[in-house]
Chain A
Amino acid sequence: MSTALQAARCERSAHGQPLGAVAGVGLRTPHYEQFLDRQAAPEIAWLEVHAENHFDRGGVRRRMLLAIAEHYPVCIHGVALSLGSADGLDPDHLDRLAALVADVNPPLVSEHLAWCRAQGVYYNDLLPLPLTDESLDVVCANVDQVQERLGRSILIENPSAYLPIDCSTLSEAEFLTRLVARTGCGLLLDLNNLFISAANLGVAADCWLSSVPAAAIGEIHLAGHARGGSTAHPLLIDTHDAPVADAVWTLYESVTQRFGPRPTLVEWDSELPPLEVLIAEAAHAQRILDLPR
């Protein structure tokens, strides 16, 4: 990690403060008005937005976000940077991410171990990488480029896996461990994704958790999932349209007991319920964060 990057990590202003062991919720467009109403401000420790929903500088959504960020810490979570692209990053995309991060000054910035772009087409899905030495070189180069551009380290999230990639030569945990060592990035541990990958591909969650560097985990994600696939080939699907599953809460409690508490976000993207339901999910997470250990 460069000295400049280390210096940038230390340089924080008001809302760039570290979050601590608190639970937040994903901020989604239908709830903006409630967060902008200062007479009845929803009580939540922090919020997170999808970066790409606010890429239009000067647009209505960007303005609303900046108004909300005056009163709540807001983290930036990218979903389309395509860190796994062999074609490299889209310079315009990185420019817009950098401008958003400069405007919002988020406590945390994160992206996924995935790709979503090839030959100039954007596919709007987190697509799986063959986990090989070549892919590791590609992701490391892309993460380095992002971190240098943003002047800060980012967190990389483990994606939901649906499909075994036969040419992989590394486990996901091994890949992420080497990525952290080479780039100085942190990890965003998505426990719903880990649970899904474990069910779909037979990854042993406990083994995964024992392998990755716990100190690098800077944030935890929780979300709901659904059953899909077929009778012959059942799959769990990362739908973000339901409460967090009981089994994922159990996993969360064991992880926080084992590694200590981390800033935790409850994500909910489709079939969005009233904000109160999301805040109740975050309160559930907060009770687990506050357990004695």
Chain B
Amino acid sequence: MTDAASLSLQQFQRDFAAHLLPSTLGGGLAVHLNLDAPGFAVHVHNVQASLRSALESTYPVTRLLVGAGFFATMADQFVLAQPPSLGWLSAYGGEFAGFIARYPPAGGLGYLADVARLEWARVRAANNADSPGLDLQALTSLAPDVLEELRLSLHPAASLIFSDFPVFDIWRAHQQPDADLFADLDLSAGPQHALVVRAAALEVGVAVLSAGDAALMKAASEHACFGAACQAALGAEADYDLSAGLVRLTAMHGLSRL
């Protein structure tokens, strides 16, 4: 449909949109649009540059790790593959880590997707609703068999990042734009598990977990019973101090209950 007079607004918008992110939607030939006009290029630029910029803001360490040029190309590919569906950009980019894991040019950088997951977890920790989380004091009043069967969960603003790489160390070493990349990092240091939380009303926290803390949090993320989660923690770390661990993870706003 190219006759301007009979063109519906809906068709106009579909054709126009198809030329903003060319690979996302099949558009018509759209001879009714002034695609060659310099003004159309302004809109194409606004769309692509602003969405790339949104990803740059969410993933600053990922960008530092690969450099601005590599990141821009990767971000542009992601925008074409998975453009936003919601009109508020704090919700955009949650699939970027998965995209990175499948992005062939980043194939040699096994830790990159994990760093991106950590950065996305920080955005969610900042934007998800705050909540008091697990009340340990209240648990002490429960009958033992009720406590045993109580189902745990992660705090609504918390995320667990389990990585085969020292993901927390990599992230922490790149908090300044001029960070000396990998100067003191041992990438073969083995797995590291991070917990990202809403540490306080206006504060996001990232912490590295011990084997016992990690096992307890993983069990909570799977909605395990309190008893099973405690057993998992004790089994994962010799001499694990269970009560200190529960106090620590609760104080960090890591835990909640179903």
Contact = CB atoms under 8 A, between A and B. Distances in A.
Interface of A: 52-53, 55-61, 63-64, 80-82, 84-87, 90, 92-93, 96, 115-125, 127-130, 132, 134-135, 138, 161-167, 200, 228-230, 233, 235, 237
24 contacts: A58-B130, A59-B90, A60-B198, A60-B203, A85-B13, A86-B12, A92-B86, A93-B86, A93-B87, A118-B14, A118-B25, A119-B17, A121-B24, A121-B85, A122-B84, A122-B85, A123-B20, A124-B84, A124-B89, A125-B47, A162-B39, A163-B39, A165-B34, A237-B42
Contacts of A118: 13-14, 16-17, 25
A145 B126 CA distance: 31
A53 B10 contact: no
Given A59-B126, A233-B38, A167 B83 contact: no
Given A59-B127, A118-B13, A163 B87 contact: no
A63 B17 contact: no
A6 to B, nearest CB: 29
Contacts of A90: 86-87
B129 interface: yes
A56 B127 contact: yes
A200 B25 contact: no
B54 interface: yes
B43 interface: yes
A228 B54 CA distance: 22
Interface of B: 4-5, 7-10, 12-14, 16-17, 20-21, 24-25, 32, 34, 37-40, 42-43, 46-47, 50-51, 54, 83-91, 126-131, 198, 201-204
A113 to B, nearest CB: 13
A82 B87 contact: yes
A124 B37 CA distance: 20
A134 B6 CA distance: 11
A96 to B, nearest CB: 7
A123 B32 contact: no
Contacts of B34: 163-166
Contact of B13 (A60, A86, A233, A235): A86
B16 A127 contact: yes
A165 to B, nearest CB: 8
A283 to B, nearest CB: 30
Given A163-B39, A200-B39, A121 B10 contact: no
Nearest to A200: B39
A164 B33 CA distance: 9
A107 to B, nearest CB: 22
A167 B46 contact: no
Contacts of A237: 42
A137 to B, nearest CB: 9
B87 A81 contact: yes
Nearest to B37: A163
B202 A162 contact: no
A220 to B, nearest CB: 23
B42 A124 contact: no
Q: Which of A57, A87, A121 has the most CB of B within 10 A?
A: A121
Contacts of A93: 86-88
Contact of A63 (B14, B43, B201): B201
Given A93-B86, A125-B47, A138-B9, A229 B38 contact: yes
Contact of A228 (B42, B91, B203): B42
Nearest to B125: A60
B9 A125 contact: no
Nearest to B51: A124
A44 B216 CA distance: 50
A134 B9 CA distance: 7
Nearest to B131: A58
Contacts of A135: 9
A90 to B, nearest CB: 7
B4 A166 contact: yes
A79 to B, nearest CB: 8
Contacts of B4: 166-167
Given A61-B126, A235-B42, A121 B21 contact: yes
Nearest to B126: A60
Nearest to B82: A121
Contacts of B14: 118-119
Given A53-B88, A59-B90, A163-B34, A124 B127 contact: no
Contacts of B16: 118, 127
Given A59-B129, A124-B47, A167 B88 contact: no
A118 B10 CA distance: 8
B88 A96 contact: yes
Given A52-B87, A56-B88, A229-B38, 17 more contacts: A55-B88, A58-B130, A80-B88, A86-B9, A86-B13, A116-B87, A119-B25, A122-B87, A123-B47, A123-B83, A125-B47, A125-B50, A127-B13, A134-B8, A162-B43, A164-B37, A235-B38
List the 3 closest pairs (A to B, CB-CB), nearest first. Answer: A58-B129, A162-B39, A163-B39
